[in-house]
């Protein structure tokens, strides 16, 4: 890629990398930002996604700002939040957390919010919040037990990954599927193109 086409992804998520590659966009560098993702008091799920995506992009921008090799790079960050009403479900790290989240999601609708933040080479910041409504079927105790045994819930917001086994739980989805995976492709590519990134460059290389 040309220098102006260098894209820095402020994330270490393999899912986001795969989604970008699906769109023909390959990050030149991954820069996961280790930030405190604890929601602030009474913070709305949408606001949390907006704040964290911006914080990650700004942290990456500050980290490479003085590096001449990356001064013309684009910085892309995203954060996905799963919520039932205003209740934010954390990224499940423990079995008890995952079990509690799955019982809560069973047979009801929830929202997935992803904040996408792009910082262009000239320092301009653009941001978009994308939301998707997802309804799960009623999960039996055996469904939950077997899904927990799969381990696919670990580290996932809402304790599930829609691109895996949990895709069979989804009764209805309104909005962007890729948003639920972790990066809304349509909106992300539109933002990149709007800031002068040639999203077509990688289309003829594969």
- Which listed residue (34, 55, 72, 79) is catalytic? 79
Among this protein's residues, is 198 annotated catalytic? no
Helix axes 14-22, 185-194, angle to 10 degrees: 70
Cβ atoms 187, 175 nearer than 8 A? no
Catalytic positions, written as ranges: 79
């Amino acid at each position: 890629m040309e220098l102006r086409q260098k894209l820095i992804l402020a994330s270490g998520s393999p899912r986001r990398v795969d989604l970008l590659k699906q769109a023909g966009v390959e990050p030149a560098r991954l820069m996961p930002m280790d930030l405190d993702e604890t929601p602030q008091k009474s913070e709305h799920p949408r606001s949390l996604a907006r704040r964290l995506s911006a914080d990650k992009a700004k942290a990456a921008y500050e980290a490479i700002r003085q590096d001449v090799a990356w001064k013309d790079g684009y910085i892309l960050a995203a954060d996905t939040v799963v919520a039932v009403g205003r209740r934010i479900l954390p990224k499940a790290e423990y079995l008890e957390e995952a079990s509690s989240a799955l019982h809560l999601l069973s047979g009801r609708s929830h929202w997935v919010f992803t904040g996408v933040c792009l910082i262009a080479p000239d320092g301009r910041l653009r941001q978009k919040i994308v939301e998707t409504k997802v309804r799960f079927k009623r999960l039996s105790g055996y469904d939950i037990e077997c899904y927990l045994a799969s381990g696919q819930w670990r580290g996932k917001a809402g304790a599930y990954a829609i691109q895996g086994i949990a895709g069979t739980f989804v009764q209805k989805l309104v909005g962007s599927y890729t948003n639920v995976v972790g990066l809304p492709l349509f909106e992300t590519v539109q933002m990149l193109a709007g800031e002068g990134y040639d999203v077509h460059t990688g289309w003829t290389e594969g």
